[in-house]
Structure 1
């Protein structure tokens, strides 16, 4: 059996570059350099057929550890709850009030970027507290 070494997470969305840049801010990811022969991603985008312009964008973990995030434009709006979501691990190893403070601090950083706070799920004896959020296109994610 082959072991998978790398994977990417793909987001269906309305505005690929805008959403990619939001997630760059959330995760500390970066937009890689444009393909060889292009000074900017805009130059590359203009080289595509009109129907493909602005249709996708991606960002990467500068350390090379995390998965590539790929954003592709789709015609339909998001209608229901995500079946898969990202958990942004800001409270790892923290418990109680210290964990809540870390979650709230990260929430306060992300809301001005366009994120929306949905609800706090308090520790229940099995799971630690986490904050359910939405990105700028309504995709759910957790501050965990």
Structure 2
């Protein structure tokens, strides 16, 4: 534990620089080549590039919790749905959790790699499902694929 009262101002500044550099990168000091800007930085509008290197997940509308997520496999009802994760490794049984930013948001409740596991999760969490959803579920492959 440090007692700051026993440190000189110079010692204190050195200690803060070392701590900050260790956890946050180097701080500005008179020894650096790039001084801070003399005027405040003004916010700028940034246009999104449709050719983004981050792919479709960079789009806020295509996140797993988004109501318009592109890898939705089936909607069981207004409260439950099944999606494929972005990496194509698993099905995710999601429950609608309300609204986020004025739009419906979804929360993952079960994560399954096999159709058997997905059926079990739906039975445990959702209960009985309509026959048309059961037939859609039967058409899924035995293991998840994107």
- Measured against the shorter chain, the TM-score band is under 0.3
Q: TM-score, normalised by structure 2?
A: 0.25
Q: TM-score, normalised by structure 1?
A: 0.25
